[in-house]
Structures are given as structure tokens and as C-alpha cells.
Amino acid sequence: MKKRYLMYAGIAAAAILIIMFIVILATGSFTIFPSAAIDPIPDHYASDLVVITGTTNYPAGTRLSLDILTASPASVEKTRVGGTDAFVAWGGGMVNTWSGALDTTAIPPGEYQVNAYWIDETNVTTHVRSSLLATSQIRLTNITPDTTRLTPVLMNHTLSFIHIDRPGTISRGEKILISGTTNLPEKTRLIYTISQQSGTTIFTVDPKTGEQDLKGGFNRSGQITIVPGQNGVSRWSFAFDSTEAIPAGYEVTVKENPDSTENVGKEGTSGAAFFTILEADNDRLTPADPNTGPCQSIMIDTFPDVLTRRNYTITGTTSLQPGTELLFSVLPAEFEVYVNKDGMSSGSMSGATGTATVTRGTGMTNTWSVDMDLAMFPPEKYQINVSNDRFDPRTYGTIYGDRYCSKRFTIKG
């Protein structure tokens, strides 16, 4: 009888192990008791982008919520000063990993506590948080003001502006700090939006479970606050985690909060820029034509073919050296010339020209950017040209270079 009991116990244990193995394959969760841990967080300068990581047995794709609370002095009631989301990814062995990007721009130097929670997304209306899963500490230290961290606004702006620093081209899963400058007052509330610029979707089938998934239409939005900058130019920023995005082109817009009292009935100041998310790092600088064509030494980053009449930051990459001055021009792609009965020709067209300076990037890929205000441009087709031409200050003529790139777009009314 005793042997029979042992046999039944062995069968039950084997069944439990099989069930647990199936659950692991199907969900990526390694135990029925969910848990999470936060990796040690090194000290950071205040205003850094801090990537917080950890381990968990929650399945891949799970979203965690991180709260940042004051931690000192211990006698003072803890106050929430920030937070972000984190996403679980498949890990090696018997544990998954998670990570989240935290923008500390608006958080002053000091000691802080990081609390991690699980978000129950089965109820789309409430998104209930779990009890505390893990906690850790982070210390933000002072940083000596560095004038190279901000790009001075060289134009004499008589109107309010919002400038967006070049987000660049990133790989899916990267975490970046999207930032910019403005002459709006400090503590002004801004709204940011990140939207996919194409109808691109990705259809996947999980080889283990056979579950089908269609991803597309990625959008994110949130509120941020303007903080003090340098030389009378304030700044703003927010952390962007591209884990859930798909490879495509995206537009980031930042504008004044339309719900604020002073902006009721007004369009408000806004800015826009474009960036691309790629699947792999080795596609970061792909010429339009890999064998021939001018867009090899100078590239214009992807942006929509149709733009509205507002401010934009057009960006690009180049293999030219930092400090190289580029000439850009925006001219109508087509324009009409009228000839009267006396043989005299006349016509009008709108355009703009200016210069941009190449800044140091990563590896052999440097960057450039241009702010364009299209508010005064009539709706029609235009062409933007970027080249290493330069003006001769003695003759006011143009010295033509040998590197250039062009792109056409339409301004709608």
C-alpha cells in the first residue's frame, strides 16, 4: 500500500511539473506567485535620463508602474515627485527582465525611493495597481551648468516658440530623452504627442502558443512642465520608451496646454519634429539609393509628404565633419511666370534660405537640424535642398559644394 501511495504522489508531482512547464512556455511566467526586484540604481545627475531595470517572473509584455517618492528626511511624509512605466521582456534562464525610462529634469537633487507595482490591464477602464512589488533607492546629485547641453537659439524670436531637439533615428526598444527649448514662461504646462505617420502594421504569430497579434497605430501623449534653462531660454523634456512601438516614422508635437485659462479660444504655440524607429542598428544610415544618387554624404530624415502651416524642425545625418556649414533652401517645386503683351515677365514665389551647422553624432554619423516656420508659406508643393554650399562674404555669391540632398513636400492650407 505504501508503494502505491508513493506511486500516486510521483504521478501527481510529475503532472504538476508538466503543467508548470506548459505555463512557462505559454506565458513566460515561472511561478504562480508573482514577484519583481529592482536592480541597484547608481547615482545620477539631476536632469539625466535614468534607465531603471529589474527582474521578475511576470510574463513578457506585462506593464509595471514605477513611482518616485521623496525619501529624506525620513520623518517627512513621502511625496510623489515623478513616475514612469516599465515593460517586461523575455530573459534568460528562469527569470524575465524589465526596464523603464525616467526623465529627472523636473526632479531636484536629493534622495528618492522607487516603488514598483503591477498594472492589471484586463480592465481597460480602471487599470488597477497591485500591492507594492519592490522598492529601491536613487540619489540625484547636482551638476555644474554645462553650456554645451543646450543649443542657443540664435534667431531673434519676436513671437513665442517651442523648439524640439533632434530625436534622431533609434532602434526599437531604445529609451531616449526627447527635449527642447522655448521662450514661454517657466512652469507653463505643455502637451506632447507622439504619433505614427503611416498605416504600417506588424502581424506576428507566437511560435509557442500560436497566438496572433497585430500591432499598429502607436500613439503616446502626456503633460510636461517648462523648467529654467540658460541665457533666458527655458527647456522641457520627457522620457520616451520605444519598447511597444513598431518600426515606422513618427511625429512628435509639443504645444501649449489648450485647457489652460490663458489659452481658451487660442491655437497656442507649438512645435513639431520627426524621427524614425528601426528594427536593427545596422540600418541607421541607409542612402535613398545604395549605389548612386546625391543623398549619401547628406541625408534628410523621414518626414511626412504633407505638412501644415506651422513650425517644424527638419533634421538629418551626414558624414561631413562637425562644424561644417550647410546651406538649406525651401523653394516652390513649381511656379508660374507671366509674360505681358510687351514681352515683360513677372511672377511671385515664396521660399526661405539659411544655414545649419553639422554637430557631432555617433560613430561616423553626424547630425544637422533646421527650424522652419511655414506659417507664411502659401499651400503648394515645395522642395527642400540641403548642401555643403556656402556664401562668399566678399561677393555675396554662392560657392557651390559637391554634396547635397533634396526632398519634396506639400503644404496644405
pLDDT tens digits, 224-253: 999 988 777 899 999 999 888 888 889 999
Would you say domain 148-284 falls under CATH 2.60.40.10? yes
Cell of 190: 505643455
pLDDT tens-digit map of 352-368: 888 889 988 766 678 88
Per-residue model confidence (pLDDT) at position 150 = 38
For residues 320 and 294, which has the higher predicted lDDT (pLDDT)?
320
Instruction: Give yes or no on whether 36-141 and 148-284 have one common fold.
Output: yes
CA distance 164 to 313: 7
Residue 146 is predicted with a pLDDT of 45
Residue-range domain boundaries for the chain: 1-32, 36-141, 148-284, 292-413
**Contact between 275 and 253 (Cβ < 8 Å):** no
pLDDT tier at 8 (50, 70, 90 boundaries)?
A: low
**pLDDT per position as a tens digit, 249-259:** 899 999 998 76
Could you tell me the pLDDT band of residue 67, with boundaries at 50, 70 and 90? very high
Name the CATH code of domain 36-141 (choices 2.60.40.2300, 3.40.50.300, 3.40.50.1860, 3.40.50.2300): 2.60.40.2300
Proportion of the chain above pLDDT 90, given as a percent: 20
- Determine the average pLDDT of the residues in 259-264: 58
Please name the fold of domain 292-413. Immunoglobulin-like (2.60.40)
**Selection from 131, 129, 183 nearest residue 161 by Cα:** 183
Please tell me whether the overall predicted TM-score, pTM, comes out greater than 0.75 for this model: no
**Given pLDDT bands bounded at 50, 70 and 90, which one contains residue 295?**
confident
Distance CA 256, CA 154 (A): 22
309 secondary structure, DSSP code = S
In whole angstroms, give the CA distance from residue 396 to residue 296. 28
- Percent of the chain scoring above 70 in pLDDT: 69
- For residue 178 the three cell numbers come to 526627447
pLDDT category of residue 106 using cuts at 50, 70 and 90: confident
Residue 283, pLDDT score: 39
Is 327 in contact with 391 (CB distance < 8 Å)?
A: yes
